[in-house]
Amino acid sequence: MNVEELRTYCLSLPHAFEDIKWGNDLCFCIGDKMFATTSLNPTSGFSCSFKCTPENYAKLIEREGIVSAPYTGRFGWVCVKKKNALNSEEFTELIKESYEAVKEGLPAKIQKELK
């Protein structure tokens, strides 16, 4: 998956929107919370971070090309550093899980507004 494919998929999720944070990171959000990020810096190579379940976190960081996400790893986020570390189906499934987990964690008022 490349940045454009990631962007297309993330924005296809209901109520998802994008935002640029920290100058060069494309962040995908629901409500006021991020569910995935990617770097827009062409010299840094591909990277994508997202939230995952504790079980998936433990499995994913054992794979080559996937590490605990800087700053957010303690909250269950991983960072995919190699495009081929996950196939497209795995990638979209994990992004969807991140989206759903973040959505479920939103305050009740925001969840109600999104329905």
CB 32 within 8 A of CB 38: no
pLDDT at 92 over 70: yes
CATH code of the domain covering residue 106: 3.90.1150.30
Instruction: Please give the pLDDT value at position 43.
Output: 67
CB atoms within 10 A of CB 9: 19
Q: How many domains does the chain have?
A: 1
Reported as a single tens digit per residue, the pLDDT across 13-57 is 999 999 999 888 999 999 989 999 998 876 677 899 999 999 999
Domain interval for residue 19: 3-114
Residue type, 1: M
**Nearest Cα to 48, choosing from 91, 110, 107?**
91
The most distant pair of C-alpha atoms in the chain lies apart, rounded to whole Å, by 41
**Matching residue, tokens 């995935």:** 36
**Matching residue, tokens 């999720």:** 13
Instruction: Please give the pLDDT value at position 111.
Output: 85
